Amino acid sequence: MDLTTASFRPGDKVADDAALLELATFLCGGVLPRQRVLTLAWLDADDRVTGIAVPVRDVPDRPSDDDAARFGGVIASVTQQSVPGGSVVAMLERPGERSVSPADRAWNDALRVQAAERGFRLHGLFVAAGGAVRPLAMDDAG
């Protein structure tokens, strides 16, 4: 899907997969990424935008076990303390082609493993590259 100009405010409902993709597109800012950034945004228990979004710059190409554990710990902590019953949406921005790369798959796998191990809900994981935003599904892991 090409980038759109949808905007989201705290309290906006993310009702379906199309709205989730629009939120991910909004999080990436509608630009072609020049560096790797992982933006984490939280939805409340009713799938409404909370306004909590954390962009992490200069993330590694592929997450090490320590990287995965660090991100998983932060996500679990924010979810438990600030958004109980909520979920996280992860947006990986990177330069390069729009096709899903092995590094994208490594991030997908690492965050899904952390979600399972730490008990938080990963509502969606997306990659922005080559002027497009696309979801990463469970079968994109590994």
> pLDDT tens digits, residue range 33-54?
778 999 999 999 999 999 999 9
Give the 3-state secondary structure of residue 32. Answer: coil
- Angle, alpha carbons 35-36-39 (nearest 5°): 120
Rg of the chain over Cα atoms, rounded to whole angstroms, equals 14
End-to-end CA distance of the chain: 23
Signed CA dihedral, 92, 93, 97, 102: sign only = negative
Give per-residue pLDDT as tens, 86-129: 999 999 999 988 899 999 999 999 999 999 999 999 999 999 99
Pairwise CA distance, residues 23 & 15, whole Å: 11
Q: What percentage of residues in the chain have a pLDDT greater than 70?
A: 89
